[in-house]
Amino acid sequence: MTQTTQIVLARRPQGAVTSDCFRLERPALPALGDNQILVRTLYLSLDPYMRPRMTELRSYTPPFELDQPLTGGAVAEVLESRNPKFAAGNIVTGMLNWATHQVHDGRGLRKVERDAAPLSAHLGILGMPGFTAWHGMLRMGQPKAGETVFVSAATGAVGQLAGQLAKLQGARVVGCAGDDAKCGYATSALGYDACFNHRTETDYGAVLDRLCPDGIDVDFENVGGAIFHAVFARMKNFGRMVMCGAISEYQDSKPQPGPEKMFTIVQRRLRIEGFIVSDHMAGMGAFVTEVGALLKAGKIHHRETVVEGLEQAPTAFIGLLKGENFGKLVVKVG
Task: List, as one string, the DSSP characters of 37-53.
Answer: EEEEEEEEE--TTHHHH
Per CB under 8 A, 157 contacts its own copies: no
Binders of its own copies: how many residues, by CB under 8 A? Answer: 37
Among 91, 246, 307, 316, binds its own copies (CB under 8 A): 246
| C-alpha neighbours within 13 Å on the C-beta side of residue 23 | 12
Q: Which amino acid is at 122?
A: H
Among 15, 84, 257, 285, binds its own copies (CB under 8 A): 257
Per CB under 8 A, 214 contacts its own copies: no
Q: How far apart are CA 130 and CA 55, in angstroms?
A: 25
The nearest distance, CB 280 to its own copies, in angstroms, is 10
Among 267, 282, 285, 298, binds its own copies (CB under 8 A): 267
Nearer Cβ to its own copies (32/243): 243
Q: In what helix (H) or strand (E) does residue 217 lie, and over which residues does it extend? A: strand 216-221
Kindly indicate which of the ranges 85-93, 161-169, 258-266, 301-309 contains the residues binding its own copies, using the contact rule CB under 8 A: 258-266
Phi and psi at 277, nearest 5°, equal -65, -25
On whether the CB atoms of residues 94 and 108 are closer than 8 A, the answer is yes
Q: How far apart are CA 22 and CA 44, in angstroms?
A: 16
Per CB under 8 A, 151 contacts its own copies: no
Q: Report the Cα–Cα distance between both ends of the chain, in Å, rounded.
A: 19
Kindly indicate which of the ranges 29-37, 89-97, 145-153, 238-246 contains the residues binding its own copies, using the contact rule CB under 8 A: 238-246
Among 62, 84, 202, 261, binds its own copies (CB under 8 A): 261
Nearer Cβ to its own copies (87/276): 276
**Beta-sheet pairing, 216-221 with 148-152:** parallel
**Beta-sheet pairing, 101-104 with 37-45:** antiparallel
Three-state DSSP state, 135: helix
Per CB under 8 A, 16 contacts its own copies: no
Q: How far apart are CA 153 and CA 258, in angstroms?
A: 19
Nearer Cβ to its own copies (69/245): 245
The nearest distance, CB 40 to its own copies, in angstroms, is 33
Q: Which amino acid is at 160?
A: Q
Kindly indicate which of the ranges 29-37, 57-65, 67-75, 282-290 contains the residues binding its own copies, using the contact rule CB under 8 A: 57-65
Q: In what helix (H) or strand (E) does residue 229 lie, and over which residues does it extend? A: helix 225-232
Kindly indicate which of the ranges 12-20, 52-60, 68-76, 294-302 contains the residues binding its own copies, using the contact rule CB under 8 A: 52-60
- Per-residue contact track with its own copies, 269 to 298, x per CB under 8 A? xxxxxxxx--x-------------------
On whether the CB atoms of residues 226 and 259 are closer than 8 A, the answer is no
Q: How far apart are CA 170 and CA 172, in angstroms?
A: 7
The nearest distance, CB 99 to its own copies, in angstroms, is 27
Per CB under 8 A, 243 contacts its own copies: yes
Nearer Cβ to its own copies (254/297): 254
- DSSP secondary structure code for residue 311 in this structure: G
Per CB under 8 A, 313 contacts its own copies: no
> What is the contact surface with its own copies in residues (CB under 8 A)?
52, 57-60, 224, 228, 237, 243-246, 249-250, 255-276, 279
